[in-house]
Structure 1
Amino acid sequence: MAYECIDRHVDQGLGDKIALNYKDEHRKESYTYKDMQRLSNKAANVLSEHAEVDKGDRVFIFMSRTPELYFALLGVLKIGAIVGPLFEAFMEKAVADRLENSEAKVLITNKALLPRVPVDKLPNLKKIVVVDEDVEDNYIDFISLMETASDEFDIEWLKSDDGLILHYTSGSTGQPKGVLHVQQAMLVHYISGKYVLDLQEDDVYWCTADPGWVTGTSYGIFAPWLNGATNCIAGGRFSPEQWYSMIEDFKVTIWYTAPTALRMLMSAGDDIVENMTCHRYVRFYQ
């Protein structure tokens, strides 16, 4: 999956095309497909060498939406491991239930969310990778290790029925259940992105769903990159001003969001809106 999302486009001469636009209160950054290839290779080397991640391992990501989340996720996939994204608003029990049930070997998180991880109750969890500054010695320092890691990595080639990503159901009708998506799912991600979302290579696309839920990975990560589009990510808390500035600054052409979010934007009034003419269309998910 990681090769088809990123490296394939570099091999086809699109390495200088913007793959990721990111913005939060403190950062505004853009990364080309070549950048994403290089940084995900670095992440794969950090995780394989220092966290001992191997093919088939279950690696969970519990962190805020930052570019590093996407470098790490792609790195996990390049190793051939199975990634499990967790919703960053989860509290201790929800985190523990999913990590215990999945028998996750490695967790990637940040310092703000680390207190919600009951490490002493998770005997299968062998390594914790912290994506932050000033990391304690008993954790793996992702940021520092990324600086010196090689940007070359031999991708693990997988079969169509090998594991890709492990999502859990919401648990609204009982205990959350793990649902393993396999590599072959990329065909549906690609086709639905191309023909339902109408993603074109010159589109600038923004899906507001959190990667802790299936919409946020299927249509917030895989579909746009499989189709060679530019993907936009907003970090931090919801803010009408920030969301409008995302659209205006990055000239978003396709916006995939929730009706609730649109109602919240409408309630903020029209005075903070400057220019929305870049849109080709808006689609909604539930």
Structure 2
Amino acid sequence: MPDPAQQARDWLATYDTPAASVAELLCDRHPRERVALTQIGPDLRGEDLTYGELADRSAALAAGMAELGVGRGDHVATMVAPSTELAVAALAVWRLGGVHLPLLTAFAPSAIAHRLAPGTALIVCDDDQRAKLDPGPDLPADAVGRVATTGGAPLRAGDSTLAGLEAAGAGAPVPAAAVGGDAPFVLMHTAGSAGPAKAIPVPVRALAAFHAYHRFGLDVVDDDVYWNTADPSGAYGLYHGLISPLLAGHRTLHLDAGIDPELVLDVLEIHEVTNLAAAPTIYRSLRATLKTLPPEIALRRLSSAGEPLGADVLEWARDVFGVAVRDHYGQVELGMCVGHANHPDLAAEPADADSLGAALPGWRASVLEPASDEEAPPGAFGRIAVDVAESPLMWFTGYRDAPAATAARFTPDGRWYLTGDTGTRDRAGSLYFSSRDDDAILTSGYRIGPYDVESALLEHPAVQEAAVYGVPDEVHGQLVAATVVLTEGAAGGDDLAEDLREVVRSRFASHAYPRRITFADELPRSPSGKIRRARLGRHGA
């Protein structure tokens, strides 16, 4: 294998050029007969789309969009379930040199209104999402311009359909626009602990970072059946369920149905998935459901991202699947930059299941002192940061129209990007996560990371999932609280709550036990699967 660091630089040299064209890189350069995407419907049947079909359909759709006035640099929003239509629409936007603005179908009008870029040229949506775009108290009339739906007929006067736009442009497909490595091709959003979501322009040169993770982090190979269960309208699903597999010329699966453990197992078996990437909640739900592994399921690689997976789930997966789950760490602003690599030349059995792993090729990450911008010594608690100067794959330069938020992400000299997470590193360079800066609990002068308490709680056999957060307290500032989801057959109550407190006292620290414990059927989560601790802090105790 070529030197991974050199390979990352080679990809950057390819994608960060004035001639870089997203449609060419993700589609047109690949063999036309190769399958690009398999859409799996609710009946679990698969429908293949080849790279040739993707090229032809996206070229025709791009011509139809151009007739509506969409051009280079314009924003086109999509609110579409995982599907062939989403892939074709995104490629059409990139073929025009436009910017794709993905919106989760779970969004309400207020969230849509905030995320729409000023002057969004077109919104593509599923038919069942169209009503959300009607003017109302949360969506001003001037926020939405042109709309194209994925169904067979327009739903409002002035609407178009994707099929109609494709048909209109079939006779005059447009060439793939060359926009260059600095041009944005995606506009993502990330929610902070305070204030509205911030917009993140993703430049074309970020493709190098996405390709490196696809190769080294996930280890997707040509004959893999690869499935990323994340929604491709969110960062992990878009970066690595749509963009990176197309960039590498691989096949990717999109499931157009709600995800539950039984459905996941059916997809793994029927479609003979060999490489799976999923949020921790998928693995945890599988653990609660799966008793024995069907012999038809033969996974080669397992990856997890979004939040720490936990030693118990890692051990369970290794026992059941015979394959280690490799935990990976990143952010919307970075992609994936740290983890336990799956590539065989880089993979090694984690020495410590609690470790996030080390920086992936093309990145350097470390831990800074809590009160200064110097690197902390091994084992010392501090702020997890990315070394900008030593990370050639670093692409984030700032939020759109948010200079103060951007400045808060970097040290004054620009040397370090501050993730907002805290933790430690060992002498080998592996990182250990403690908490988000804005999730840390301050009680009686102590700073407590939720992850540490959650890890302790998960060691109790009655606990399936746990979320720990702070609740206001006049005397102590905050009290540690926990919401717990129990395993099947377990019953909550005062006795179990006291047992759980004792587990935390004995397994982590005597001052960190949760003073308040509630039991719930499930934890509130974002569409990407992350626990919404802020919601629990308001309503969970």
- After TM superposition, the score normalised by the length of structure 2 is 0.49
Match of 1:44 in 2: 62
Pair 266,104 (structure 1): closer, same or farther in 2 beyond 3 Å: same
Q: Report how many aligned residue pairs link the two structures.
A: 279
Match of 1:79 in 2: 96
Match of 2:195 in 1: 174
CA contact (8 A) 1:170 1:176 kept: yes
2:146 alignment partner, one of 127, 136, 144: 127
Residue identity matched to 1:38? D
Q: Answer 1 or 2: which has greater strand percent.
A: 2
- After TM superposition, the score normalised by the length of structure 1 is 0.90
Pair 241,149 (structure 1): closer, same or farther in 2 beyond 3 Å: farther
CA contact (8 A) 1:131 1:142 kept: yes
2:260 alignment partner, one of 236, 239, 243: 239
Tell me, in whole angstroms, the C-alpha distance in 1 between the residues paired with 2:217 and 2:149. Answer: 37
Match of 1:114 in 2: 130
Match of 2:162 in 1: 142
Pair 274,82 (structure 1): closer, same or farther in 2 beyond 3 Å: same
Tell me, in whole angstroms, the C-alpha distance in 1 between the residues paired with 2:295 and 2:152. Answer: 36
Name the SS for the 2:177 alignment partner. Answer: coil
CA contact (8 A) 2:210 2:240 kept: yes
My pick for the range that moved more, 17-26 or 87-96, is 17-26
Tell me, in whole angstroms, the C-alpha distance in 2 between the residues paired with 1:200 and 1:111. Answer: 36
Higher Cα Rg, which structure: 2
Deviation by residue 1:185-212 (Cα, 9 ceiling, x = unmatched): 1111112211221122222211111122
Q: Answer 1 or 2: which has greater helix percent.
A: 1
Tell me, in whole angstroms, the C-alpha distance in 1 between the residues paired with 2:207 and 2:78. Answer: 20
Name the SS for the 1:113 alignment partner. Answer: helix
**Distance apart, 1:183 and its partner CA:** 0.9
CA contact (8 A) 1:96 1:118 kept: no
Structure 1 residue runs of 4+, over 6 Å off?
none
CA contact (8 A) 1:132 1:141 kept: yes
CA contact (8 A) 1:53 1:106 kept: yes
**Distance apart, 1:271 and its partner CA:** 6.8
Residue identity matched to 1:129? A
Tell me, in whole angstroms, the C-alpha distance in 2 between the residues paired with 1:176 and 1:115. Answer: 23
Pair 38,106 (structure 1): closer, same or farther in 2 beyond 3 Å: same
Name the SS for the 2:128 alignment partner. Answer: coil
Tell me, in whole angstroms, the C-alpha distance in 2 between the residues paired with 1:45 and 1:130. Answer: 17
Q: Is 1:153 aligned with 2:171?
A: no
Match of 2:278 in 1: 257
Q: Is 1:32 aligned with 2:50?
A: yes
1:200 alignment partner, one of 208, 221, 224: 221
Tell me, in whole angstroms, the C-alpha distance in 1 between the residues paired with 2:295 and 2:51. Answer: 30
Match of 2:378 in 1: none
CA contact (8 A) 2:34 2:51 kept: yes
Name the SS for the 2:28 alignment partner. Answer: helix
Deviation by residue 1:74-116 (Cα, 9 ceiling, x = unmatched): 10010001010011111111111111x5442211112211122
Residue identity matched to 1:17? R
Tell me, in whole angstroms, the C-alpha distance in 2 between the residues paired with 1:276 and 1:284. Answer: 18
- RMSD between aligned residues: 2.0
Match of 1:224 in 2: 245
Q: Is 1:96 aligned with 2:113?
A: yes
Runs of 5+ unmatched residues, structure 1: none
Tell me, in whole angstroms, the C-alpha distance in 1 between the residues paired with 2:249 and 2:23. Answer: 13
1:184 alignment partner, one of 175, 200, 205: 205
Runs of 5+ unmatched residues, structure 2: 1-21, 307-541
Residue identity matched to 1:30? D
Match of 2:488 in 1: none
Residue identity matched to 2:95? K
**Distance apart, 1:249 and its partner CA:** 2.5
Tell me, in whole angstroms, the C-alpha distance in 2 between the residues paired with 1:236 and 1:46. Answer: 29
Match of 2:303 in 1: 283
Report matched runs for 1:54-69 at 5 Å: 54-69=71-86
Pair 78,62 (structure 1): closer, same or farther in 2 beyond 3 Å: same
Tell me, in whole angstroms, the C-alpha distance in 2 between the residues paired with 1:121 and 1:98. Answer: 13
Pair 254,223 (structure 1): closer, same or farther in 2 beyond 3 Å: same
Name the SS for the 1:20 alignment partner. Answer: strand
Tell me, in whole angstroms, the C-alpha distance in 1 between the residues paired with 2:163 and 2:103. Answer: 20
Tell me, in whole angstroms, the C-alpha distance in 2 between the residues paired with 1:43 and 1:264. Answer: 39
**Distance apart, 1:176 and its partner CA:** 0.5
Residue identity matched to 1:67? T
Tell me, in whole angstroms, the C-alpha distance in 2 between the residues paired with 1:164 and 1:68. Answer: 18
> What is the percentage of aligned positions where both structures have the same residue?
24
Tell me, in whole angstroms, the C-alpha distance in 2 between the residues paired with 1:93 and 1:118. Answer: 12
Match of 2:24 in 1: 3
**Distance apart, 1:144 and its partner CA:** 3.2
